Chain A
């Protein structure tokens, strides 16, 4: 493990008795230099019309560490995820992968650069079969246009093999994804994210309240990816869970970075207070005192 030294009492170590998720270490290339970011945002600005959704946001992901992106709804968390995974282009600033500036035009390019995303909605389509979901947007084909077609055998086998690696060895890939248990759906999203070989994992936690079991699943994914040496961006609105796994905490508010903290800087309570608007409350109290 090459990440920076970790401190903090409740830090989650490698899960005992658990096989690590199959994040292929080899794809990270040579052992990364400690502290060198695999992905970096430098003053990234994104506008919807004239309204900035992100305003000069800077962020670094270091291999083998977990960076938590926190903030209220509408703070710009999803926009960061969209920029990093190639769904949306940034208007200003730089996006660097391995130190080189990139500008993704489509999600495939982000995936090719080793940036894998597990979306809030898992991006699983219930009415489509498991294997079609697995390959969505990047289906293996054979033949030449206009006779180019999906290579069914390769697609089915590839999906089954990748799913076996995340602990679903006997899953029928021809059934609709609607028939999967929630945990299996999550595993499908993980298997798909990892298939093209990742060095960065973006985990966008669902905003809807999760059960403890579902939280555990998400956190285990985060921890396994970190232990495999990936740079992890964990997007969440739950400070308690973020503090369990995070090395660094970036708080977004109104599209700007409101705070960039390490584990030494803040404990769970402090983090909770920051996110749940403790700062805003203090300002409000001061304002009221002044006016009265």
Chain B
């Protein structure tokens, strides 16, 4: 076959962008810059932040928000959202807790049962989104309401309490605590195992997104649903699989909380989902879908943890955290808007 010149209407080949320029257009770059700025600002006010104690609590805060954020990032890249993830994590920890304290199950069977329950919710979410074709925000809002009310009703009628405890000491507790609740004392801080779970989630999500056909399907779904369908990307199964992953992340968050505290307050409230969403956007996700990265979500979570711990240690009024988070969100939305315009600007022929 010949490679002879053929007019392609316009400049045939554009110069490849330089390495530095590519680094600047990565979705995670602004968040990493933010982490550096936050470390400098709060480090000047409260030097303990960069000590081992500060780092340990910084990373713990980042890990818990980061696991949710990385799941939300996968959904956002596919152009979806899940309002029920925070409540699902509470519901699954309450389920596991009640099975241990009321039904006398071992810890591991209870955790397995709550995982199955969470996955069932994920399947329902995914199927509803696929079958109705409605915005996932509305569909998962329905799941959120059912889970919120259902958790309270069940906890009240079964245990008659708003606090599930007496989980410690049940069969299998030591191994569960080693896996979900342990930590390593290093210097003045206790580095918790949640950090490892977070890293694992980020690595897995990053690998899925960048290296697998599933990841390509996720980008395609968010980038153009029509094109994805035309090219035979399995849109329905990809969507359901995504909600299964989100449900698993919610279960992991619930389990980490349950094992760490040896119990869990039955307080399924709205709010966690929004923080995951904010962190994902700070990490460079476009709300319209089709763009974002796992590393970006990690950077966003790191920024969240730094600011939250920094405000804590520096002794600021705790509500000022929300102010800072709001400002960060606006900056992120503006920066992402610029990135999007630059990426999608179609050169005229």
B20 interface residue, CB < 8 Å from A? Answer: no
Residues 61-100 of chain B: 1 if any A CB is under 8 Å from the residue's CB, otherwise 0?
0000000000000000000000000000000000000000
Residue of B nearest to A81 (CB): B230
Q: Determine whether the beta carbon of A137 is less than 8 Å from that of B226.
A: no
A170, B5: Cα distance in complex, Å: 11
B227 interface residue, CB < 8 Å from A? Answer: yes
A259, B234: Cα distance in complex, Å: 36
Contacting residue for B231 out of A123, A178, A183, A187, CB 8 A? A123
Q: Determine whether the beta carbon of A87 is less than 8 Å from that of B230.
A: yes
Q: What A residues does B227 contact at CB under 8 A?
A: 119, 121-125, 136
What's the least CB distance linking B30 to chain A, in Å? Answer: 17
Interface of A is mostly: loop
Q: Determine whether the beta carbon of A182 is less than 8 Å from that of B9.
A: yes
A211, B344: Cα distance in complex, Å: 21
Contacting residue for B232 out of A108, A164, A172, A176, CB 8 A? A108
A150, B218: Cα distance in complex, Å: 14
Q: Determine whether the beta carbon of B343 is less than 8 Å from that of A176.
A: yes
A175 interface residue, CB < 8 Å from B? Answer: yes
Interface centre among B231, B291, B343 (most CB of A within 10 A): B231
Q: What A residues does B232 contact at CB under 8 A?
A: 86-87, 106-108, 111, 137-138
Q: Determine whether the beta carbon of B344 is less than 8 Å from that of A126.
A: yes
B132 interface residue, CB < 8 Å from A? Answer: no
A85, B224: Cα distance in complex, Å: 18
A147, B10: Cα distance in complex, Å: 42
Q: What A residues does B11 contact at CB under 8 A?
A: 181
Residues 167-202 of chain A: 1 if any B CB is under 8 Å from the residue's CB, otherwise 0?
111111011101111111001000000000000000
Q: What A residues does B12 contact at CB under 8 A?
A: 168, 170, 184
Q: Determine whether the beta carbon of A127 is less than 8 Å from that of B344.
A: yes
Q: Determine whether the beta carbon of B230 is less than 8 Å from that of A150.
A: no
Q: Determine whether the beta carbon of A136 is less than 8 Å from that of B1.
A: no
A213, B13: Cα distance in complex, Å: 18
Q: Determine whether the beta carbon of B349 is less than 8 Å from that of A107.
A: no
Q: Determine whether the beta carbon of B230 is less than 8 Å from that of A181.
A: no
B233 interface residue, CB < 8 Å from A? Answer: yes
* With contact pairs A136-B220, A136-B231, A178-B345 given, residues A183 and B8 touching in the complex (Cβ less than 8 Å): yes
B16 interface residue, CB < 8 Å from A? Answer: yes
Residue of A nearest to B219 (CB): A128
Q: Determine whether the beta carbon of A183 is less than 8 Å from that of B349.
A: yes
A206 interface residue, CB < 8 Å from B? Answer: no
Q: What B residues does A292 contact at CB under 8 A?
A: none
Q: Determine whether the beta carbon of B8 is less than 8 Å from that of A121.
A: no
Q: Determine whether the beta carbon of A127 is less than 8 Å from that of B13.
A: no
Q: Determine whether the beta carbon of B13 is less than 8 Å from that of A171.
A: yes
What's the least CB distance linking A113 to chain B, in Å? Answer: 13
Contacting residue for B10 out of A137, A164, A175, A183, CB 8 A? A183
Q: What A residues does B228 contact at CB under 8 A?
A: 125, 136-137
Residues 211-247 of chain B: 1 if any A CB is under 8 Å from the residue's CB, otherwise 0?
1110010011001101111111110000000000000
Q: Determine whether the beta carbon of A187 is less than 8 Å from that of B8.
A: yes
Q: Determine whether the beta carbon of A141 is less than 8 Å from that of B213.
A: yes
A117 interface residue, CB < 8 Å from B? Answer: yes
Q: What B residues does A150 contact at CB under 8 A?
A: 211-213, 216
> Which residues of B, 291-349, contact A by the 8 Å Cβ criterion?
291, 343-347, 349
Residue of A nearest to B13 (CB): A170
A149 interface residue, CB < 8 Å from B? Answer: yes
Q: Determine whether the beta carbon of A128 is less than 8 Å from that of B16.
A: no
Chain A interface residue number, banded: 35 or more
B17 interface residue, CB < 8 Å from A? Answer: yes
A166, B7: Cα distance in complex, Å: 10
Chain B interface residue number, banded: 35 or more
Q: Determine whether the beta carbon of A132 is less than 8 Å from that of B219.
A: yes
Q: Determine whether the beta carbon of A121 is less than 8 Å from that of B10.
A: no
Q: What A residues does B186 contact at CB under 8 A?
A: none
Q: Determine whether the beta carbon of B233 is less than 8 Å from that of A137.
A: yes
Residue of B nearest to A119 (CB): B230
A15, B94: Cα distance in complex, Å: 72
Residues 1-25 of chain B: 1 if any A CB is under 8 Å from the residue's CB, otherwise 0?
1111111111111101100000000
B290 interface residue, CB < 8 Å from A? Answer: yes
Q: What B residues does A37 contact at CB under 8 A?
A: none
* With contact pairs A167-B8, A181-B8 given, residues A125 and B211 touching in the complex (Cβ less than 8 Å): no
Residue of A nearest to B347 (CB): A181
Q: What B residues does A121 contact at CB under 8 A?
A: 224, 226-227, 230
Q: Determine whether the beta carbon of A165 is less than 8 Å from that of B3.
A: yes
Residues 191-222 of chain B: 1 if any A CB is under 8 Å from the residue's CB, otherwise 0?
00000000000000001000111001001100
Q: Determine whether the beta carbon of B216 is less than 8 Å from that of A139.
A: yes
What's the least CB distance linking B207 to chain A, in Å? Answer: 8
Q: What A residues does B13 contact at CB under 8 A?
A: 168, 170-172
Q: What B residues does A170 contact at CB under 8 A?
A: 12-13
Interface centre among B6, B11, B344, B347 (most CB of A within 10 A): B6
Contacts A106-B232, A181-B11, A213-B349 aside, 13 further interface pairs with beta carbons under 8 A come to: A18-B6, A125-B219, A125-B224, A125-B290, A127-B219, A132-B216, A138-B232, A168-B13, A175-B17, A181-B347, A182-B9, A182-B10, A183-B8
User: Which 8 residue pairs spanning A and B have beta carbons closest together?
Assistant: A107-B232, A167-B6, A183-B9, A181-B10, A125-B223, A137-B231, A183-B8, A137-B232
- 30 examples of A-B residue contacts, CB within 8 angstroms: A19-B6, A87-B230, A106-B234, A107-B231, A119-B227, A121-B226, A122-B227, A123-B227, A125-B219, A125-B220, A125-B227, A125-B228, A125-B290, A132-B216, A135-B216, A136-B227, A136-B231, A136-B233, A137-B231, A137-B233, A139-B213, A149-B211, A165-B1, A166-B6, A167-B4, A178-B343, A182-B9, A182-B349, A211-B349, A213-B9
Which A residues form the contact surface with B (CB < 8 A)?
A: 18-19, 22, 85-87, 106-108, 111, 117, 119, 121-128, 132, 135-139, 141, 148-150, 152, 164-172, 174-176, 178-184, 187, 211, 213-214, 217
